[in-house]
Amino acid sequence: MNTTLSRRTFAKVLGGTLASMGLVACGNSNSGSDSTDATNADTAKSGTGFRTVDQIKDSGTVIIGVFSDKAPFGYVDDAGEYQGYDVEFAKRLADDLGVQVKWVATDPANRVPFLESNKVDITMANFTVTPERAEKVDFSLPYMKVQLGVVSPDKAKITSVDQLKDKTLIVAKGTTAETYFEAEHPEIKLQKYDQYADAYNALLDGRGDAFSTDNTEVLAWAIQNPGYTVGIEALGNTDTIAAAVAKGNETLLSYINDEIKKLGSENFFHEDYAKTLEPVYGDAANPDNLVVEGGQL
């Protein structure tokens, strides 16, 4: 990623102005009614609503939900191609399945519904594992770990949760930040946005005093935006990031878990970090504190 991007340009990549491209974008695959009809036929044939590994292979396409606006994990570059840490894993998974990828852009709140409605086979969108989500979808072994962080302007830096009293904290809907602050700090006023771009622009415009989401993301954003600092680098529990499939899709879940174990033996996720995250974080983060190889914490 070009680390000289302007604030507004980076905010656009990081959050949401790509909505005009539509909900579904395709990479190395065909789109349209033929693909949709084939997917519907597969799910009807399975009798489960979701597609098994064999059905995905037979179709020649795996449908994967990723962020289009959350650099450096999932975003669309200037050439219209999906890039990022999650995307690299998704591409490798598709290659090893021997199929092409149909990308579906998602926002945080739609990650579970898209699986429940079978709009996607897999979600790989910086998806934090929580007990509540695990009741609705099945998570793979982890491939990353994360905590919450809080970014704020240097001129009014937030370094503790206590400082957020009587202030406005920006969050994205459907994120662990929203859940955490609602449960643990109901006294803090939350300003919620559907898209990451809107949330970051609200911070840039001074509509809120701070923004909270995964520490991996706010660290990257603060590096790109002089005048802002992650004053709270680790908040709440250490969580894990994983892929997710529809509840009960055991064949696909087993395939992904086996893939994660195999890729761990190749040191794949550290290489993924070096390609997609290190250019952003530089020395600000230790890859061993973020990357999970082989599904083993």
Least confident of 8-17, 163-172, 235-244, 275-284: 8-17
Q: Identify the CATH homologous superfamily for domain 53-145+240-289.
A: Periplasmic binding protein-like II (3.40.190.10)
CA 112 to mean position of chain CA atoms = 12
Is 7 a residue whose pLDDT tops 90? no
* pLDDT, tens digit, 9 for 90 and up, residues 144-193: 999 999 999 999 999 999 999 999 999 999 999 999 999 999 999 999 99
* pLDDT, tens digit, 9 for 90 and up, residues 11-52: 444 443 333 333 333 334 333 333 444 455 455 444 569 999
Decide which of 207 and 216 is more confident: 207
Q: What confidence category does residue 234 fall into, taking pLDDT thresholds of 50, 70 and 90?
A: confident
Question: Which pLDDT score is estimated for 132?
Answer: 93
Question: Which pLDDT score is estimated for 199?
Answer: 96
Question: Which pLDDT score is estimated for 289?
Answer: 83
CA 213 to mean position of chain CA atoms = 11
53-145+240-289 and 147-238 have identical folds? yes
* Domain extents in the chain: 53-145+240-289, 147-238
Is the pTM higher than 0.85?
no
The CATH number of 147-238 is 3.40.190.10
Least confident of 34-43, 113-122, 172-181, 242-251: 34-43
